[in-house]
DNA sequence: TCAACAGTGTGATTCTAGTCACCAACAGCC
DNA sequence: GGCTGTTGGTGACTAGAATCACACTGTTGA
């Protein structure tokens, strides 16, 4: 089971509390875990798998924000839980996932009871806030080719490999751009030697 | 004094604690309160005045994020305080300000001691996160004219008046655009009748 | 009163990115 | 093999926005 290694920095007491309180739900790859506008009754803790968090535009476009990996919680779901508000983002399983749903009351209680939970929650807030800030930076100050390079390296880091199996269309969706533009920019980047293109594969050069 | 009304939702105990622990600093309008990259030793609570929070681009451009009004705290400064990290944003006084600096240790302690402080901090996180998310939406999905309209209404709401005393250059800076473009868009909006232009003044029509 | 300057208006040009149209390569499947 | 859907490549065109250049107006202050 992933329980133990997942939350190893937590006190034993807290771990027991979590296991006693959480409802475990599983999702298959591609499944939508949470719609934007959906009402939340609990906070999401990712036990296994990977969850993609993204923003939906009014016109149906989407915009990638970040991934949640095992051991991470959705900052927004914590905030919403405390206030019982509706979700502002979409969450989709990109791998088969096991999610622990923790009732919002527990989230608040544990903040006072367990120092490690308090640190965990604050750390979750901070990381996501900074990630969002970094994303905003990219969109506000950088051109598309710079953003594309950033995106690819972020993906590589996230996946732990410089061989990305991803389509141009997927990249375009994540960046709220269009497939042709992404293809062209990738081609230019290949000519500059910073990556190699293949069908469904992008191989980043290591020296960059 | 602004103390009492400012923190009226707090317990008396907490109010005393804050007054005992906080170091009061004053800033004059225009003064930079915090540089990005600066090391923080405390969390900022705005007692009076108004603080502008914005992001700095590598090229020297800037990007307006939000204002802090009396009674509000800087979410980032709370997060940084807990982790003792450096600031990721700039803070500038746009009016003469009185800022209370609260040592980071107190921020953590009070989370456990005072329910009202806990709610205050979580609420601060949530509001800023949503504000940032909204801003990201604007930049990612909207065109400049839509963003401009959004910006003006946000300013009007913030200032509590539909008569904005602001220059085109200032707007352009806040949106990381250029003065000419903003001037042209404003002119178009005036022709559409949704505002009136004057020197240093933009008057929004009420019916929109 | 007369620079000097800040704020604004406007045309011309350039650049980035999105859109349209179409084709080629490849994979899976009957 | 031959059909079909997915992926990627490319040229032509368009729109949005940045940039450059310069003119005009009102304000300030020596």
| More confidently predicted of A39 and B196 | B196
pLDDT of B77 above 70: yes
Q: Which of residues 135-194 of B touch strand D (CB under 7 A)?
A: 143-145, 176-178, 180-181
Which of B104, B103, B75 lies closest to B91, judged by CA? B75
pLDDT of B208 above 80: no
CB burial of residue B39 (10 Å; 0-12, 13-18, 19+): exposed
pLDDT at residue B3 in the model: 44
Beta bridge partners of B56: B62
Counting DSSP H helices and E strands in chain A, the numbers are 8, 10
Per residue in A136-188, pLDDT (tens digit) is 999 999 999 999 999 999 999 999 999 999 999 999 999 999 999 999 999 99
Report strand pairing: B97-103 vs B23-27.
antiparallel
Which of B65, B87, B68 lies closest to B76, judged by CA? B87
A104-113 vs B115-141: helix axis angle to the nearest 10?
120
- Nearest-angstrom CA–CA distance, A89 and A1: 29
pLDDT-derived band of residue A38, with 50, 70 and 90 as boundaries?
confident
Find the range with the poorest average confidence among A80-94, A145-159, B14-28: A80-94
Mean residue pLDDT of chain A comes to 89
Supply the DSSP symbol for B41: S
Percent of chain A with pLDDT over 70: 94
Which of B53, B161, B55, B38 lies closest to A139, judged by CA? B55
pTM above 0.75, yes or no: yes
Q: Which of residues 170-189 of A touch strand D (CB under 7 A)?
A: 179-180, 183-184, 186-187
pLDDT of A94 above 50: yes
Residues of B with CB under 8 A from a CB of A: 55, 57-59, 61, 63, 75-76, 79-80, 82-83, 85, 88-89, 108, 111-112, 118-119, 122-123, 125-126, 128-130, 132-133, 135-137, 139-141, 176
pLDDT at residue B185 in the model: 97
pLDDT at residue B166 in the model: 96
pLDDT of A2 above 60: no
Shortest alpha-carbon distance between residue B112 and chain A (Å): 5
pLDDT of B2 above 60: no
Is the CB of A167 less than 7 A from some atom of nucleic acid strand C?
A: no
Note the CA–C1' distance, A114 to D19, in angstroms.
57
Strand C, nucleotides covered by protein (CB < 7 Å): 6-12, 16-21, 26-27
pLDDT-derived band of residue A104, with 50, 70 and 90 as boundaries?
confident
Give the sheet arrangement for strand A195-198, strand by strand: A163-164, A201-204, A195-198
pLDDT at residue A3 in the model: 44
pLDDT of A16 above 70: yes
User: CB of A107 within 8 A of CB of A121?
Assistant: yes
Q: What is the mean pLDDT of residues B147-162?
A: 96
| More confidently predicted of B184 and B105 | B184
pLDDT-derived band of residue B1, with 50, 70 and 90 as boundaries?
very low
Do B141 and A111 make contact, defined as CB atoms within 8 angstroms? Answer: no
Do B133 and A61 make contact, defined as CB atoms within 8 angstroms? Answer: no
């Amino acid at each position: 089971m992933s329980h133990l290694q997942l939350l190893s920095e937590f006190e034993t007491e807290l771990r027991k509390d979590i296991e006693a309180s959480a409802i475990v739900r599983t999702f298959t790859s591609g499944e939508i875990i949470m719609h934007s506008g959906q009402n939340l009754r609990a906070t999401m803790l990712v036990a296994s798998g990977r969850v993609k968090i993204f923003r939906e535009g009014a016109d149906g476009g989407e915009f990638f924000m970040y991934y949640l990996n095992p051991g991470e919680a959705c900052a927004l779901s914590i905030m919403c839980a405390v206030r019982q508000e509706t979700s502002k983002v979409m969450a989709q399983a990109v791998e088969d996932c096991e999610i622990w749903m923790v009732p919002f009351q527990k989230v608040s209680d544990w903040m006072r009871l367990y120092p490690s939970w308090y640190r965990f929650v604050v750390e979750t807030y901070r990381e996501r806030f900074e990630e969002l800030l970094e994303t905003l930076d990219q969109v506000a100050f950088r051109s598309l080719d710079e953003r594309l390079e950033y995106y690819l390296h972020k993906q590589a880091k996230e996946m732990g490999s410089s061989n990305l199996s991803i389509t141009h269309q997927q990249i375009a969706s994540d960046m709220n751009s269009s497939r042709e533009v992404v293809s062209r920019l990738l081609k230019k980047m290949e000519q500059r030697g910073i990556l190699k293109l293949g069908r469904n594969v992008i191989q980043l050069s290591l020296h960059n």
